[in-house]
Amino acid sequence: MTERPPTDARAHLIARGLLEPAQDVEVTPLAGGVSGEVVAVRGDSVQLVVKTPLDRLKVAHDWRADRRRVVAEAEALRIVSRLTPDVVPRVVDLDGDAYVIVLEAAEPGWMSLRDQLMVGTCDTWVAAWLGSALARWHMATRRPELLPHELRDVEAFVALRIDPFYRFVAAQYPELGDTIDAAADALLAERTCLVHGDLSPKNILVGPKRIWVLDWEVAHLGCPVFDLSFMLTHLVLKSVHRPQSAAGYSRFARAFVDAYRQGVGPAFPPEQQLVLNLGCLLLARVDGKSPAPYLTDDDASRTRSLAINVLTEKPATALDLWETL
């Protein structure tokens, strides 16, 4: 697959009237994702990110998704920015025909939550802030008729999460297939609120007492348990990979869940639904189409055993998993 050269971003900004032809800017590819080409464009008075989704993702397996998901991302960002100002980047421009979104860039020095966690930095204020923000988004969008039609479409969620993370894995585990497929069916059946769909540490930037939540291209009207399960999956994976920091990841997970629970009250999802999806997603990050790249072979084996145990034994709560690590 041929990568889009970074110089395309500069040309696009000029064509959209966001950059003067004579302006001197630096165009830097940003790493970390498999679903799109993302570059930062920086210069005097210009601090932008240009993002273009791919129709074929950058993984070993054949994995495709409609590029129109960029429009849903823009709509989700606009909604969330009204609910929680300064927690997401501003949408500067959307070219729906070329499938390109332009966002404001974070200030230099911000760090991804993934990079922090991978060195054992587990700031619980970040977890609590994130849990509170997620609760606000879920509770404030429980009127589906107010969401634009792009966010009521689950095609991107099916292509980017249900098929590669649930159906693909279910086919590899006949003894667990019915359980995994049932979890997927339940996610698609519950259309409750705006769901981010990719709430992982790599999509969270941490600044001085602030966070930004990025990458809303899988956003949709769906089941809130998915966002909770997805974040907890990453924290469990890091606990397996870096056991010396497992206690910190556990505290981070608890602060995240407690803040979310306080924000949603009785609307908190049933624990067994959370546990079920956590088990499915752990297995997906080993044997799905997008395995976690930092897991060693031993990490993957331990994660696989843990996931199967979760799906068969069903611990009382998701946070109980840390007692088994």
Helices vs strands, H then E, count in the chain: 12, 10
Residue-level pLDDT at 32: 54
Consecutive 10-residue averages of pLDDT for the chain (325 residues): 54 91 88 71 91 66 67 95 93 92 91 96 97 97 90 91 96 97 98 96 92 95 98 98 98 98 97 97 95 96 97 94 90
Residue-level pLDDT at 58: 52
Fold for domain 7-323? Aminoglycoside 3'-phosphotransferase; Chain: A, domain 2 (3.90.1200)
CA 21 – CA 208 distance, rounded (Å)? 34
Query: Are 201 and 33 contacting, i.e. CB atoms less than 8 angstroms apart?
Result: no
CA 290 – CA 286 distance, rounded (Å)? 8
CA 159 – CA 66 distance, rounded (Å)? 8
Residue-level pLDDT at 215: 92
Residue-level pLDDT at 162: 96
Residue-level pLDDT at 7: 43
Residue-level pLDDT at 35: 60
**Residue-range domain boundaries for the chain:** 7-323
Other residues' Cβ atoms within 10 Å of the Cβ of residue 287: 16
Helices 124-140, 225-241: axis angle to 10 degrees equals 160
Query: Are 153 and 71 contacting, i.e. CB atoms less than 8 angstroms apart?
Result: no
Query: Are 223 and 186 contacting, i.e. CB atoms less than 8 angstroms apart?
Result: yes
CA 59 – CA 199 distance, rounded (Å)? 19
Residue-level pLDDT at 274: 97
Query: Are 257 and 250 contacting, i.e. CB atoms less than 8 angstroms apart?
Result: no
